[in-house]
Amino acid sequence: MLEILSHQFLKKFVRSHSLDWDHIYSFGRIISKCIQNDSTYLINSEIFSTEHWIVAIFISLFLHEENSTFVLNSEKIQFFKNNQMEDLRNLGFKYILENDQLIFSSHRVRLVTLENLLNDSNFFKLNNHRIVLSGIEDIKQDLKNYFRISLFKKDWFNQFKQSGHLYLHVTDTYNSLKKNFFLRKSIGNSYLFLEQEELSFFVKFFNENASFSDQFLRVSNALSQGWACWVKLDNTNFEWIFYLEPIDELSQIREFLNSNKFLFLSALRKDNFFQKYLKNQSLDVDLVVNFKSNFREKKISLYVPPKQMLPNNPLFNSAILDKCKKLLIFRKGLSLVLSNDVNLKNYLATELASLYGKRVSLETIPSLKNDILCASFDWWINNSILVEIPEQIIIPLLPIPSLSEPINLITVSYNKKLAKDWFREFLLPEAKLKLERSISPLRKNSGKLIILDGRVNKRKWGTLLLQSIKPSKQINYMLPFD
C-alpha cells in the first residue's frame, strides 16, 4: 500500500515541478519497499550529488506513520526548507516544523546532519528506528574527523586552578613527557609513537583524572578501547600534541547500526567500498540497487603511456613535468593535475606557472576555461562542484595513502598482526575510492584521464585498478605526447 500511495503523491509532485531524472518513480518505489519491509538497502547513484531525489524520500517517510530520521548535509536540509516543504504541504501533507522535526499527528520525521546525530547521545539508545543516511560516500572520512582527538597544551590545564596541588602535578607530568619526547626525537620526523611504558602511564594517568574534563574523559575512553595514538612535536614552540584515532571508525557505531533499520544512500556510481566496510563489522544489507544519474553517461577516454618511471626513481619529478608540458600543448579546456604528494604538486604548479603564467592555479577556483589547475585529490573532491568539468585530468601519482601519516602506518601494522593483506585490504581500496570520486565528472563529457604513475603498468594491482574505471575506452596515442 505504501508503494502505491507514494507513487501517486510523487506523480502529483512531478507534474507541477520539473524534476530532471528519468528514474524518479523507480527510485520512489524502491524507497517505499525498503521502508515497508523493514529492510536495509544500499542505493548508489550520482544523482545524490544533486537535489532531484530528496522529495521521493520525504513522501515515503511522510506516508509511513512511524517516527524516522533523515540524515542530510546542512545544504540539502536548507534546500528542502526553502524549496519543497511548502509544496509538500500543498499536496495534502499536514505537519509543522519545530527544531528541525516535521511533526505529524501520528509520527515525526527528524532532519539532522551526521555530526549532530553523533553528538546526540539519545540517538544511540534508539532501537528498531528507521534512519535514511545519505552521504555514505564520505562516511569513513566523516567518522574519522568526528572521532579524532587532538590534545593540545591548553587542554591539560584549562580545568585546574593554578594554585592547586593537582595543577602542579599535571604541569610536572606534561613537562616531563615533553622532555622525554624531544630527547628521542629523530631528525626529519616530527611524529613519535608511544613506547609500552609510556602508553601504560598514559592509560593510568587519564583513567585517574578522567573526571576533571570532558577531553580527559574522551582520551581515557579512547585509550581503554585501544585507539591508535601518537605524538606530534611542535619544533617552533617546543611543545607537543597528543593525537588519538580509532583504527576502524565504523566499529564506534556498530551497535547503533545493528540495532536500527537503515537506508544508505551513496553518491558513487557503484559503491563497493561501503559494502566491504560493513562486512568488516559483520553487518550486511538486504539489497543493493544502482541507479543512473540525470546525465547521459559517456566513456572516459583513458590514456596510460607505456614505459613510465616508477615514483622511487630520482628522475621521476622532472620526467612528470616534461610529460605534463606535452599534454598541455594545444589544450583549450580546463586541465587538472592531481597529486596528494605536496612536494610534487607544488613543484609542478611552480614550473608550469613559469611557462603559462596566470593560467596556472594552485587549489584555487579557476577563472578561465583553459586554465591549468593543480590540486590534491581531497581538494578537488570537495570543490569539483564549483569548477567546470575538465577536458583532461592528469594523475602523476595514484592516491595511495602515505605511510608517513601516523594513522596509516598504525593501521598497516594492525593489519599485519592480523595476517591480512594490508595493501589490498587497506591502501588499495582507499586509492580506488579517491580515484573514483575524482574522475567521475569525466563521464559527463568523455574527458581524458591520463595516469602517469608507472606502477599501473608494472604491478598486477595496477591493471586491476585500471579495469575498475568504468565506463572507459583505452586510447593509445595522444599528439603531441608520443
DSSP 177-195: HHHHHHHTPPTT--EEPPP
CATH number, domain of 307, equals: 3.40.50.300
- Closest by alpha carbon to 64, among 10, 111, 2, 9? 2
pLDDT at 480: 56
Amino acid found at 304: V
pLDDT at 160: 61
pLDDT at 68: 96
Give 10-residue mean pLDDT values along the chain (482 residues): 92 89 96 92 95 96 95 96 93 94 96 94 88 95 95 82 72 92 85 93 93 91 96 92 95 93 95 87 91 93 90 94 90 93 96 94 89 96 93 96 93 91 91 94 94 92 90 81 52
Helix (H) / strand (E) containing 338? strand 335-338
Is residue 295 a part of any domain in this protein?
no
Is residue 312 a part of any domain in this protein?
yes
Domain count, the chain: 3
For 305-339, write each residue's pLDDT tens digit.
988 899 999 999 999 999 999 999 878 899 999 99
Q: Are residues 88 and 161 in the same domain?
A: no
Q: Are residues 331 and 444 in the same domain?
A: yes
CA separation for the pair 46, 271 (Å, rounded) = 10
pLDDT at 165: 76
Is residue 192 a part of any domain in this protein?
yes
**439 in Cβ contact with 393 (< 8 Å):** yes
CA separation for the pair 340, 438 (Å, rounded) = 12
Angle ∠(475,479,482) on CA atoms, nearest 5:
80
- Strand ordering across the sheet containing 261-266: 96-98, 101-103, 108-112, 68-71, 130-134, 261-266, 41-44, 287-290
pLDDT at 481: 53
- Closest by alpha carbon to 364, among 356, 354, 372? 372
Is residue 188 a part of any domain in this protein?
yes
Q: Are residues 240 and 267 in the same domain?
A: no
Instruction: Name the domain boundary from 266, 290, 314.
Output: 290
pLDDT at 284: 87
pLDDT at 281: 85
For 329-384, write each residue's pLDDT tens digit.
878 899 999 999 999 999 999 999 999 999 999 999 998 788 999 999 999 999 99
Is residue 482 a part of any domain in this protein?
no
pLDDT at 306: 85
Q: Are residues 118 and 13 in the same domain?
A: yes
pLDDT at 479: 60
Is residue 451 a part of any domain in this protein?
yes
Q: Across 164-213, where does the E strand assignment appear?
A: 191-192
- Domain holding 154, by residue range, is 147-245
Q: Are residues 124 and 24 in the same domain?
A: yes
Question: In degrees rounded to 5, what are phi and psi of residue 169?
Answer: -65, -45
CA separation for the pair 368, 360 (Å, rounded) = 10
**274 in Cβ contact with 266 (< 8 Å):** yes
Which 8-state DSSP code applies to residue 305?
-
Question: In degrees rounded to 5, what are phi and psi of residue 319?
Answer: -65, -40
Q: Are residues 281 and 324 in the same domain?
A: no
Q: Are residues 329 and 425 in the same domain?
A: yes
Q: Are residues 62 and 175 in the same domain?
A: no
Q: Are residues 272 and 132 in the same domain?
A: yes
Q: Are residues 43 and 99 in the same domain?
A: yes
**3-class DSSP state of 131:** strand
334, 338, 344, 348: CA torsion to nearest 10: 0
Question: In degrees rounded to 5, what are phi and psi of residue 334?
Answer: -70, 130
Q: Are residues 23 and 129 in the same domain?
A: yes
Is residue 479 a part of any domain in this protein?
no
Q: Are residues 326 and 218 in the same domain?
A: no
Is residue 177 a part of any domain in this protein?
yes
